[in-house]
């Protein structure tokens, strides 16, 4: 298999169009034409914490794949390539086509490192994908990633700390224009903290990574919605929660967002009679929280929530 040639073709494709539905449609067709012994090649797009079917070649496939489910869901959750020589031995494998025996799934990442989509290829041949195939297909995926300029314009990311991240995540997930959210620990002094360390006041802020469509929900409006559910003058305290991990903060990954954040906070300060406690800083670090914290209130509808949804 000549992966250098395949990557050259991907580069040509991606120069023609960076808008990802067109790019992915042609990329799927190219893989389908080029790779021997495959019965499905296509993309799933990450939206609202799960995967949604994108352009593909092969038999009709399942539309939604939850995070952590099947090979694709594992690649989303673990943010790494998952190569499966025998899908029947993979716990939770989703059999869209009973002819599939082997599978490889490769994440495509946004600039912030989060998974934007996965490339999924199935084969009827056991052990079909070698390490060489993995390297070649990962190089192919990197070219598509670089070309997803349209995606960067259509999706932006901001990190918002508003007290306990369980309720905050649910709140942001309900807003029109929010594409995806993830809870984690931002701007703390140590790498890869555990919840117990954060709870013991290690210094990180419970934060939601919010991916949103600025055409539907401009940053300024998103920040206004965020202001509606925080007490912006409370220091290290929201709802019934006290501690540095419950401080409020707006952490931006794109320096171009800084003026919008400052303007929104200046406007908010004029409406408050006490000084604001909301941090306004570039994002220094963000570590995803443990799986049981993700979409916590979907898993536990009666769980603790400091935000009142009525
Ligand atoms: N088998 C996949 C589901 C998608 S189909 O292969 C197209 C999985 O287990 O994630």
CATH number at residue 293: 3.30.1060.10
Tell me, yes or no, whether 104 and 236 share the same domain: no
Do 285 and 167 reside in the same domain of the chain?
yes
Task: Give residue 286 CA to ligand 1 midpoint distance, Å.
Answer: 29
- Segment 207-232, tens digit of pLDDT: 999 999 898 999 999 999 999 999 99
Domain membership of residue 309 (yes or no) is no
Position 48 pLDDT exceeds 80: no
Whether 283 is in a domain gets the answer yes
Q: Are residues 125 and 167 in the same domain?
A: no
Which atom, in ligand 1's list, is nearest to the CA of 93? Answer: 9
Classify each residue of 138-168 as buried b or exposed e, where b means 16 or more C-beta atoms within 10 Å of its C-beta.
eebbebbbebbeebbebbbbbbbbbbbbbbb
Q: Residue 79 above 70 pLDDT? A: yes
pTM: 0.68
* Atom from ligand 1 closest to the CA of residue 62: 4
Residue 262 alpha carbon to ligand 1 centre in Å = 44
* Range 135-163 average pLDDT: 87
pLDDT tens sequence across 89-145? 998 899 888 899 999 999 999 877 889 999 999 999 999 999 999 999 999 999 998
**In ligand 1, which atom is closest to the CA atom of 90?**
9
Q: Answer yes or no: 164 catalytic.
A: yes
Whole-number Å distance between alpha carbons of 272 and 269: 5
Residues in contact with 95: Cβ distance below 8 Å, sequence separation at least 6, in sequence order: 87
The number of the ligand 1 atom at minimal distance from the alpha carbon of 100 is: 6
Q: Is 310 a member of any domain? A: no
Same domain, residue pair 241 and 144: no
228 and 245, same structural domain? yes
Two tokens, residue 243: 């501690």
Report residues whose beta carbon is within 6 angstroms of any ligand 1 atom. Answer: 40, 61, 65, 70-73, 93-94, 96, 100, 103, 120, 122
Residue 230 placed within a domain: yes
Distance CA(205)–CA(92), nearest Å, equals 34
Domain stop point among 108, 130, 152: 152
Residues 165 and 97 in one domain: no
Domain endpoint, select from 124, 152, 180: 152
Tell me the pLDDT tens digit for each residue of 251-293.
999 999 999 999 999 999 999 999 999 999 999 999 999 999 9
Average pLDDT of the chain to the nearest whole number: 93
Distance from Cα 277 to the centre of ligand 1, integer Å: 46
Q: Quick one: 170 and 140 in the same domain?
A: no
* Same domain, residue pair 176 and 122: no
State residue 149's pLDDT score. Answer: 58
178/293 same-domain check:
yes
Note whether residue 307 is domain-resident: no
Let me know if residue 262 belongs to a domain. yes
At residue 184's C-alpha, the angle toward residues 110 and 210, to 5°, is: 50
Full domain range(s) for residue 107: 3-152
Is 308 within the bounds of a domain? no
Q: 141 with 237, same domain?
A: no
Give the closest residue (by CA) to ligand 1 atom 7: 61
Mutate to test the pocket of ligand 1, among 54, 60, 64, 65 (most ligand atoms within 8 A of CB): 65
Residue 126 sits in a domain whose CATH number is 3.30.450.40
**Domain boundary, last residue among 152, 173, 207:** 152
Q: Report if residue 306 sits inside a domain.
A: no
Same domain, 254 and 185: yes
> Which is the catalytic residue, given 164, 168, 272, 305?
164
- Distance, CA 95 to ligand 1 centroid (Å)? 6
Q: How many domains does the chain have?
A: 2
Q: By alpha-carbon position, which residue is closest to atom 5 of ligand 1?
A: 96
Residues 142 and 260 in one domain: no
In the reported structure, the alpha carbon of residue 76 is separated from the centroid of ligand 1 by a whole-number distance in angstroms of 12
**pLDDT exceeds 90 at position 19:** no
């Amino acid at each position: 298999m000549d992966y250098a040639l395949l990557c050259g073709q991907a580069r040509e494709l991606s120069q023609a169009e960076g808008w990802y539905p067109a790019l992915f449609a042609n990329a799927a067709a190219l893989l389908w034409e080029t790779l021997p012994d495959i019965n499905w090649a296509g993309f799933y797009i990450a939206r609202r914490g799960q995967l949604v079917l994108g352009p593909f070649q092969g038999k009709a496939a399942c539309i939604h794949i939850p995070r952590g489910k099947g090979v694709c869901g594992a690649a989303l959750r673990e943010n790494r390539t998952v190569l499966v020589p025998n899908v029947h031995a993979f716990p939770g494998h989703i059999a869209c086509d009973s002819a599939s025996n082997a599978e490889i799934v490769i994440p495509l990442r946004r600039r912030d490192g989060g998974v934007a989509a996965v490339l999924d290829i199935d084969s009827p041949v056991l052990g079909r994908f070698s390490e060489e195939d993995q390297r070649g297909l990962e190089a192919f995926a990197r070219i598509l990633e670089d070309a997803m300029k349209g995606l960067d314009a259509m999706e932006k990311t901001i990190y918002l700390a508003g007290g306990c991240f369980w309720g905050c995540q649910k709140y942001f997930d309900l807003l029109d224009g929010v594409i995806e959210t993830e809870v984690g620990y931002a701007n703390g002094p140590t790498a890869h903290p555990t919840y117990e360390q954060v709870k013991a006041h290690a210094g990180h802020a419970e934060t939601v990574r919010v991916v949103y469509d600025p055409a539907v929900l401009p940053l300024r409006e998103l920040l206004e919605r965020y202001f509606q559910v925080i007490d912006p003058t409370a220091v290290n305290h929201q709802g019934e929660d006290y501690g540095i991990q419950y401080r409020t903060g707006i952490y931006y990954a794109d320096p171009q967002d800084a003026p919008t954040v400052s303007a929104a906070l200046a406007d908010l300060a004029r409406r408050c009679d006490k000084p604001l406690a909301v941090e306004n800083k570039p994002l220094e670090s963000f570590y995803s929280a443990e799986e049981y914290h993700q979409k916590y209130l979907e898993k536990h509808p009666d769980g603790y929530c400091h935000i009142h949804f009525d």
